[in-house]
Amino acid sequence: MAIKSLTELPVDSKRVFVRVDFNVPQDDAGNITDDSRIQAAIPTIKYLMEHECRIILASHLGRPKGGPDPKYSMEPVGLRLAQILDTEVMLPEEVVGDGPQKLAASMRDGQIMLLQNLRFNPGEEKNDEGFSKQLASLAEVFVQEAFGTVHRAHASTAGVPKLMKDKGMGFLVQKEVTALYKLLNKADHPYIAIVGGAKVSDKIAVLSNLLEKVDRLIIGGAMAYTFLKAQGIDLGKSRVEADSIDTAKKILKRAQQRGVEIILPVDHVATTDLKNGSDPVNISNREFPADLMGVDIGAKTIALFEEKLADAATVVWNGPMGVFEVPPFNKGTDAIAKLLARSSAFTVICGGDSAAAVKKAGLSAFMKHVSTGGGATLELLEGREMPGLKALE
Ligand code: AMP
């Protein structure tokens, strides 16, 4: 893939437009409750400061309805950024137009401007050419640093880079792209995918694409019940997706054709009362009582998954093994997080729930990569073309 990395771009003393992901969570009073996304972009911003660039940052925040809305102003983000960098951040009131143009023209080397919320202009989500041209005219170099948006063909992700000659990816996007393309194109074997979560229907495309690449597919979470049901096993009141049983059968058949080993749970933690986490019982596939629902993988299953992961060279994990939000039904998910943290394989964690479980257990640093992309990560693993990456080629 011919995408330049930040260090290959001619940025010195140039005006550089950086598409960042500053879509941070805020409380009702507008206070930022988690600034990780701002912190994550700091290495790229500092690199540009060191290279005396005039830095123009742009992001969306929340879902304003195509017009200015004070609730979604970038101002709190700009203030936090200024605090983190201990420098001034210019905050024009508009996204494009006279204000940002004049500021961009008068910026000095090393100065930073944060444009107003991109989604205040309806041209952003429509990938409007006129809007893209206005944004592109602010700078000479384009840097994509918002991995979570590269699956969207918006003005700031696809429109602007198409109009610019010098363009590439910031450090965050490069890390994501390197790890995820390795999973797609050059993974070392044995290569194992672990997939969990609730809905088979949401993950059919990912399962189908990974099935063509992996040696083993481990399935947990509620999703496993649909696969077990497809094999004729009854699981009481467990969450089976009736509409997806045929799909599960097709996936099982394709796995057999390709020689991919599918590993399903052999025992479960089940309960009558999910809310209070009371009376969990451990049951095998064969003796599932009609009035119980499975909420986590059982101890024998954890041991089986451990055995199947032992020789892994590459592991990708998406989706929890149980209702991990309700202790003690987090045990299966935590056990997988610990197994992967100990593994010497190239381990990549995808999806908000798996990443949250790994973070909560304090194990993020022990993984090779924890993807932050959400929808973008899943679409990339589905093998789809990413408009925001295509535009950087
Ligand atoms: P997904 O968005 O499809 O990855 O699903 C994530 C959700 O799956 C989490 O909120 C889990 O609580 C839920 N989940 C995982 N295992 C089970 C299960 N055995 N029964 C019901 N829900 C589950």
Of the listed ranges 166-180, 237-251, 271-285, 330-344, the one predicted with least confidence: 271-285
Average pLDDT over residues 139-166: 98
3-state secondary structure of 231: coil
Q: Is the CB of 325 under 6 A from ligand 1?
A: yes
Per-residue pLDDT reduced to its tens digit, 125-144: 999 999 999 999 999 999 99
**Segments of 133-255 assigned E as strands:** 141-144, 166-169, 191-195, 216-219
Is the confidence at residue 1, as pLDDT, over 70? no
Average pLDDT over residues 307-319: 98
Q: Is the CB of 222 under 6 A from ligand 1?
A: yes
Burial environment of residue 182 by CB neighbours within 10 A (0 to 12, 13 to 18, 19 or more): middle
- Domains of the chain as residue ranges with CATH: 6-171 (3.40.50.1260), 178-381 (3.40.50.1260)
Active site residue 375: yes
**Ligand 1: distance of its center to the CA of 197 in Å?**
4
Percent of the chain with pLDDT over 70: 99
| 334 contacts 357 by C-beta, under 8 angstroms | yes
What is the band of 278 on the pLDDT scale with cuts at 50, 70, 90? Answer: low
Is the confidence at residue 116, as pLDDT, over 70? yes
- Shortest-distance atom of ligand 1 to CA 268: 19
Is the confidence at residue 277, as pLDDT, over 80? no
The pLDDT score that the predictor gives to residue 361 is 92
Per-residue pLDDT reduced to its tens digit, 227-249: 999 999 999 999 999 999 999 99
Q: Is the CB of 353 under 6 A from ligand 1?
A: yes
What is the band of 275 on the pLDDT scale with cuts at 50, 70, 90? Answer: confident
If we measure between CA atoms, which residue out of 118, 121, 124 comes closest to residue 152?
124
Average pLDDT over residues 196-204: 90
**Ligand 1: distance of its center to the CA of 267 in Å?**
17
Active site residue 352: yes
Burial environment of residue 63 by CB neighbours within 10 A (0 to 12, 13 to 18, 19 or more): exposed
Is the confidence at residue 321, as pLDDT, over 80? yes
Q: Is the CB of 295 under 6 A from ligand 1?
A: yes
322 alpha carbon, distance to own chain's centre? 20
- Could you give the dihedral angle defined by the CA atoms of residues 231, 235, 241 and 247, in that order, rounded to the nearest 10 degrees? -10
Average pLDDT over residues 86-105: 96
What is the band of 202 on the pLDDT scale with cuts at 50, 70, 90? Answer: confident
The pLDDT score that the predictor gives to residue 191 is 98
Q: Is the CB of 198 under 6 A from ligand 1?
A: yes
The pLDDT score that the predictor gives to residue 352 is 87
- Which one of 14, 19, 37, 203 is the catalytic residue? 37
Average pLDDT over residues 355-368: 94
The pLDDT score that the predictor gives to residue 231 is 96
73 alpha carbon, distance to own chain's centre? 24
Q: Which residue has the higher pLDDT, 100 or 352?
A: 100
DSSP string, 74-97: SHHHHHHHHHHHTS-EE--SSSSS
